[in-house]
Amino acid sequence: MSWFFLSIITMLCWGTADLFYKKGTDENDPQSHLKIAVWVGLVMGICALFLLPFTESSFSLSSFLTNAVKYAPASLAYILSMVIGYAGLRYLEVSIVSPVQNASGAFSLIAMAAFFLFTGRMGSIWEEFTVLDLAGTILIIAGVVALAIVEKKLEGTVQKTDKYRFSALALLFPIAYCIFDTIGTAADGIILDEEAGLGLGEIDVLVLYGLTFLVAGLAAWLYLLLKNRKAYNPFAKSERDKGIAALFEEGGQIFYVFAMASRPLLAAPLVASYCIVSVILSRIFIHEKLKRMQYACVFTVIAGIVLLGIAEGLAS
């Protein structure tokens, strides 16, 4: 399967995950983000344990630990960004949070390009780009960044009800997510690059990230136990949306690593445009209202995706 279709599947998975993250977030529960982290850690950990025998270093403890150290910066950056993002959902709508967070796609592309330029890989990468690739990528980045700007302006006009009592401060959550996600995505693109990477395969990355998130999820569960003097039950009926979100998160993660290993500079901004899916689904299912400028940004991103699809079809 080509990097383009892998990226599209990732978009759909992560956009759907955002919807269920929001549905599973209790605005009155200050521990809601930790409970989501428990669920994500559980799902990713189970998947990682299942994939462990298929890693390149599964039969060598020293190799596995070396790879864990290599991937630690990306893994920790991702976990920080995601938990911060979960916390932000208590105060802001999905249609505000997701676009601001996913401006990271543009920043990670710049960071990866700088690295490949410094290591002398940029020349060969540019040979893989067509005019349609460049035009589509520019439209996607422009649409996502413009949507983030529009959302920031709209957020400032929201009436300060209890739901938005921390909205000025709450915008720091998606901004912090954007910073850490930029680090994680750029690191993934560099680590997974077939020529200039650190020698980690896609399965290794899935396992290392999953096990790290499992540890983070267990730590969150233990904190909740000590804090509340009562064990958190992630399998309660009220926690179902958190579990669904975690499943879509892991599904997207699987397709994401293969897309990034193939064409990181093109895949990163395309995957980051999953905020468009989040915005559309939030409008349909939880009735978050959209303005004309938001629709314009959505159609700009869609036009960029269509151009990338045409370029991929012509290349095949």
Q: What is the pLDDT of residue 198?
A: 62
**Contact assessment for residue 259 and residue 271, using Cβ atoms and an 8 Å cutoff:** yes
At position 295, the amino acid (one-letter code) is: Y
Cα 219 from Cα 225, distance rounded (Å): 10
Task: Work out the average pLDDT over 241-260.
Answer: 95
Tens digit of each residue's pLDDT (9 = 90 or more) over 114-133: 877 777 766 666 666 778 88
Q: What is the pLDDT of residue 165?
A: 42
Q: What is the pLDDT of residue 145?
A: 80
At position 147, the amino acid (one-letter code) is: L
Residue 243, both tokens: 């579990």
Tens digit of each residue's pLDDT (9 = 90 or more) over 136-180: 888 888 888 887 777 666 655 544 444 444 455 566 777 788 888
Q: What is the pLDDT of residue 217?
A: 96
At position 4, the amino acid (one-letter code) is: F
Q: What is the pLDDT of residue 94?
A: 64
The residue among 153 and 311 whose pLDDT is bigger is 311
**Contact assessment for residue 222 and residue 229, using Cβ atoms and an 8 Å cutoff:** no
Of 9-13, 117-121, 215-219, which range is least confident? 117-121
Report the chain's terminal Cα–Cα distance, integer Å. Answer: 11
Cα 303 from Cα 80, distance rounded (Å): 32
Q: What is the pLDDT of residue 163?
A: 46
Q: What is the pLDDT of residue 313?
A: 77
Q: What is the pLDDT of residue 199?
A: 62
Q: What is the pLDDT of residue 245?
A: 96
At position 26, the amino acid (one-letter code) is: D
- Name the residue among 252, 281, 113 with its Cα closest to residue 186: 113
The residue among 312 and 232 whose pLDDT is bigger is 232
Cβ burial 27-41 (10 Å sphere, 16+ → b, else e): eeeebbbbbbbbbbb
Whether residue 218 has pLDDT greater than 80: yes
Of 92-101, 237-246, 255-264, 280-289, which range is least confident? 92-101
The helix (run of H) or strand (run of E) holding residue 23 is helix 3-23
% residues pLDDT > 90 (the chain):
30
Average pLDDT, the chain: 82
Q: What is the pLDDT of residue 166?
A: 44
Task: Work out the average pLDDT over 286-303.
Answer: 81
C-alpha dist (Å) from residue 277 to 104, 161, 301 = 16, 27, 11
Highest mean pLDDT among 9-13, 110-114, 260-264: 9-13
Cα 218 from Cα 38, distance rounded (Å): 6
Task: Work out the average pLDDT over 34-59.
Answer: 88
Task: Work out the average pLDDT over 310-314.
Answer: 78
Q: What is the pLDDT of residue 160?
A: 46
The residue among 158 and 15 whose pLDDT is bigger is 15
Task: Work out the average pLDDT over 191-201.
Answer: 67
